Amino acid sequence: MQIRKIKKEDNAPIAKVIRDVFIELDAPKVGTAYADPILDTLFEVYRKPNSIYFVVENDGKVLGGGGIGPLENGPADVCELQKMYFSPEIRGLGLAEQIILKCLNFAKAEGFSKCYLETLPFMKAAQRVYAKVGFTYLSEPMGGTGHTSCDVWMIKEL
């Protein structure tokens, strides 16, 4: 397994991984990453300043990923952990935690003071990983991500 920065040719495979997770979990499509207009162009999106996206690759196949960028419509010192999704075959191997830590290190180096995330209430395993690395729950959302179906919000001081 290799964790590396996203490449242009990863756009279609990582978008498929993300959409497949939503289908697998019968998760809401509207108001989530599934419906994001940027989902098919993550390489281009994460080339913007203060942004980075990592993918997990095994034998040439993209199996998951996660990234970080400025919180849309939020305070300038707050970033957002974004698009953290993994194929079933690589869950539970510690790769999500590795990507999160890489993202948080990047965020600190970029000068962010807090990291925010949104998730779905039934994604309990993901919430356990977030809590393990220091995220705590918030009572209301921050910024304006458009993810209206994600009603679990978490934050971490960097």
* Confidence class for position 13, pLDDT limits 50, 70, 90: very high
**What letters, b where the CB count within 10 A reaches 16 and e where it falls short, cover 65-78?**
bbbbbbbeebeeeb
* Confidence class for position 26, pLDDT limits 50, 70, 90: confident
Crossing angle (nearest 10°) for helices 95-109 and 124-132: 50
Give the pLDDT of residue 35.
Answer: 78
> Is residue 18 within 8 Å of residue 32, measured between CB atoms?
no
Its domain, for residue 19, covers 2-157
Q: Which two tokens stand for residue 30?
A: 């509207």
Which residues, at least 6 apart from 157, have a Cβ–Cβ distance to it below 8 Å? 113, 114, 134
Check: pTM over 0.85? Answer yes or no: yes
pLDDT per position as a tens digit, 86-145: 999 999 999 999 999 999 999 999 999 999 999 988 889 999 999 999 999 999 998 877
Indicate which CATH number applies to the domain containing 66: 3.40.630.30
Count the domains in the chain.
Answer: 1
